[in-house]
Amino acid sequence: MTNSHYDVAIIGAGMVGSALASLLSRSGFSVALVEACEPQPFDAQADVGLRVSAISPGSAAVLRQAGVWKSISTQRSRPYRRMQVEDGAQLEPLLFDAPVFNLERLGTIIENTLVQWSLWQVVAAGGLVDIYCPDKLDGIEFGPQQNRVKLISGKHISADLVVGADGASSRVRKAMGIRQDYRAYNQHGLVAVVAKQEPNPGVAWQRFMPGGPLAFLPLPDGRSSIVWTRPSIEAERLLAMDSEVFMAELDTASSGWLGRVEDCGPRAAFPLSMRLSDRYVAQRTALVGDAAHVVHPLAGQGVNLGFADTAALTESIIRARFAGVDIGSAGVLQPYDRWRRAESEAMAFGMHALRSLFDGDGLLPLRRVGMALVKRSWVVKDLFLQRAAGIGGNAPKLATGATLQDLMQG
């Protein structure tokens, strides 16, 4: 039975956990990374995957420090410089253009497997991280000097700090005894890769309709990756129908945007919910990513919040190490908790309010006032955009251009 000690043990190597492993190992911390299933390799010859994310400029800066942005952005990815938001009630669209807000781009659409696989390769090849995979967390013994992590393989590891990056059903969170505010939306997000008559010119387009929004996100070959939020029963119906019938329904829902739907690949749907943890830290333990918070995907912010968590935690513990402070102490973890909880809750409630405002016809007058306000006010638009870009609010330094070297030099 092994019993190795690390500065940090990370449970979960999804996009968020593996980004954190890379950031911390590149900052000189000893890191263990525990993952249940080896990530699926990214295959550039295969068709575009169903799961893509809109990666914000703030997250791109974090991924650059994690050592993967250059390789990701030169593979299969598509930047977008315009966001167009429409309302099913035919109000005038809202346009957000990157140059108006002094941004080079508003975001980049990338397949999740490309992000996760690139991070996994950097972490595995660097030799700086001990990887336990396939293996799973079995339990945590919390201690005053260190935490002991038991894995289902029977191995034990100990660490000054344990991080739960193990997704929405986090076992780490359960072991910490942290309660969550959980709201099921009774909606599913239906995803597919779709070709329209005209190629997507690099615009993230979203139409709000009763039942949920429909988004077309640009892919490198002119097709779009769609996320169509529908009530769960309706999503089941859309999944089950023939491709031709589905394309006809999608045509109607997206009428007026880039012509007819000409082709559609396989479809899948994911249940949508909002989950907010009461706390993100406990004794020598912290949560990042979906383990801490799950938000509605209508503004594509879930993994972006997760990358901001990794940047904030990295910043907090680098500062502690250089001040000679125990990285698992309450004095280091409590400020991280307050910082990231405030940011994630603001985003989650913002998405929740937006979703409610556009869901149904009852609030049409209010919606009209809201759209008009945002359209007229550059300040409101700018605030919204800076947040969505991951560089507004109380963004971590790594998201706004600082390097790991800058942090290590104080």
Q: Which residues bind ligand FAD (CB under 6 A)?
A: 11-17, 34-37, 53-54, 136-137, 165-167, 171, 189, 191, 227, 270, 289-290, 297, 300-304, 306
Nearest to 410 by CA among 280, 315, 297: 315
User: CB of 92: closest distance to ligand FAD in angstroms?
Assistant: 25
Q: Which residues contact 196 (CB under 8 A, 6 or more apart)?
A: 216, 223, 224, 254, 257, 258, 259, 260, 261, 262
With respect to ligand FAD, which residue has the nearer C-beta, 15 or 98?
Answer: 15
User: CB of 58: closest distance to ligand FAD in angstroms?
Assistant: 11
Nearest to 197 by CA among 238, 254, 267, 268: 254
Q: Which residues contact 88 (CB under 8 A, 6 or more apart)?
A: 207, 208, 209, 210, 358
Write the CA distances from 134 to 36, 39, 147, 243, integer angstroms. Answer: 5, 10, 21, 37
User: CB of 201: closest distance to ligand FAD in angstroms?
Assistant: 19
User: CB of 302: closest distance to ligand FAD in angstroms?
Assistant: 3
User: CB of 79: closest distance to ligand FAD in angstroms?
Assistant: 14
Rounded Cα–Cα distance for residues 80 and 200 (Å): 10
Rounded Cα–Cα distance for residues 396 and 398 (Å): 6
The pair of structure tokens assigned to 42 is: 């990214």
Residue spans of beta strands (DSSP E) within 12-92: 31-34, 52-55, 77-80, 82-87
Rounded Cα–Cα distance for residues 88 and 102 (Å): 30
Write the CA distances from 349 to 43, 193, 344, 361, 386, integer angstroms. Answer: 37, 29, 9, 21, 17
User: CB of 170: closest distance to ligand FAD in angstroms?
Assistant: 7
With respect to ligand FAD, which residue has the nearer C-beta, 12 or 212?
Answer: 12
With respect to ligand FAD, which residue has the nearer C-beta, 49 or 189?
Answer: 189
Rounded Cα–Cα distance for residues 131 and 32 (Å): 6
Helix, strand or coil, per DSSP, at residue 259: coil
Residue nearest to ligand FAD (CB): 14
Q: Which residues contact 49 (CB under 8 A, 6 or more apart)?
A: 111, 112, 113
Helix, strand or coil, per DSSP, at residue 377: coil
With respect to ligand FAD, which residue has the nearer C-beta, 217 or 320?
Answer: 217
Write the CA distances from 364 to 126, 359, 373, integer angstroms. Answer: 54, 10, 14
User: CB of 304: closest distance to ligand FAD in angstroms?
Assistant: 4
With respect to ligand FAD, which residue has the nearer C-beta, 195 or 295?
Answer: 295
With respect to ligand FAD, which residue has the nearer C-beta, 35 or 87?
Answer: 35
With respect to ligand FAD, which residue has the nearer C-beta, 115 or 195?
Answer: 115
User: CB of 297: closest distance to ligand FAD in angstroms?
Assistant: 4
User: CB of 272: closest distance to ligand FAD in angstroms?
Assistant: 6
With respect to ligand FAD, which residue has the nearer C-beta, 320 or 337?
Answer: 337
User: CB of 38: closest distance to ligand FAD in angstroms?
Assistant: 9
Write the CA distances from 202 to 17, 77, 190, integer angstroms. Answer: 30, 11, 21
Question: How many Cα atoms within 13 Å fall on the side-chain side of residue 173?
Answer: 23
User: CB of 323: closest distance to ligand FAD in angstroms?
Assistant: 29
Rounded Cα–Cα distance for residues 281 and 330 (Å): 9
With respect to ligand FAD, which residue has the nearer C-beta, 11 or 176?
Answer: 11
Q: Where are the alpha helices (DSSP H) in 66-107?
A: 69-73
With respect to ligand FAD, which residue has the nearer C-beta, 75 or 273?
Answer: 273
Q: Which residues contact 322 (CB under 8 A, 6 or more apart)?
A: 408, 410
With respect to ligand FAD, which residue has the nearer C-beta, 10 or 327?
Answer: 10
